[in-house]
Amino acid sequence: MDPIDERGLRELLVESDDMQSDAMRTATRDLDDYVEAVLDTRGRSRDPGGQWPGWGKVGVVAGLAGAGTLLAAWPAAADPAQDVQALQTAASLENLAVATYKTALTLPFIGGADANGVVKAFAEKTMAQHIEHGQAFNGAVAKLGGKAQNDPNAKYAAVVKEAVPTIKGAGDVVALAIALEDVAAQTYTKNVSQVSTPELRQLFASVAGVESQHKAILLAVKALLDGGAPQLIALPPDAAKLPDAAGSVGFPDAFFPTEKASPVEEGAVK
């Protein structure tokens, strides 16, 4: 196996860390703002019937500037219960990704002596990032009084369980990881239009970007594996030897799809 350029690998991991750090910094801030607003509203305005008229901070704004401001600051269809379900479902997808990468790293061609150094490093770094995402989602759920989702997504856990015995090489693992990253990215992209506040929309948009990056890298790796050129999975790559499609294979869609997105309630905890 060709040697891996350690300097290039470190640079890639630094870039990945930078993107992850930016996304999680934004996520933490937005989640804290969202939780504070919901708790404030919940503490001041829940009526005996359990309705959410929208007073608290946004209600003060409405009282000063009129109902139009209230509609702009807090959508009429705001549903904290659905927001919690979305966060729990997201956590279930992150838990599944962590479990899948952990299993993959026990295989000799992903985490063992036969592994490509770049693929192994990517799997380790990506697993750590999924752990952070899951902790962020569950942290918000807990602050809102909901139950943390500590189990993997049941629907896709069954898919992984069925696929694991058929894995024969690195290409099979990469294909499975692509499927999981794609579902997560599509789910969070769709969540942007389903949750009730700008803070949550920003959160899901930020994390969707990280998952999309994972998918793009994996698509490029899979193309080289399928093309019988694993030696080209190196840092920095030998650009002269890469196929013409190397620059576009990681981005197959002009607009990111959402048809595979998990329903908001799919991973909710009752």
Domain covering 6-39+79-247: architecture: Up-down Bundle (1.20)
DSSP 28-75: HHHHHHHHHHHHHHHHHH--TT------HHHHHHHHHH-HHHHHHHS-
Q: With contact defined as beta carbons under 8 Å apart, do 190 and 258 qualify?
A: yes
CA distance 185 to 182: 5
> pLDDT by residue (tens digit) across 110-145?
999 888 787 888 889 889 989 999 998 998 888 888
Q: Is the CB of residue 163 less than 8 Å from the CB of residue 241? A: no
* Confidence bin at 1 (pLDDT 50/70/90): very low
pLDDT of residue 170: 87
Prediction pTM value: 0.73
- Nearest residue to 190 via CA among 267, 85, 91, 260: 260
CA angle 88, 182, 139 (to 5 degrees): 25
Among 36-40, 153-157, 264-268, which stretch is predicted with the lowest mean pLDDT?
Answer: 36-40
Looking at per-residue pLDDT, the higher value among 165 and 235 belongs to 165
Domain extents for the chain?
6-39+79-247
Computed over its alpha carbons, how large is the radius of gyration of the chain?
21
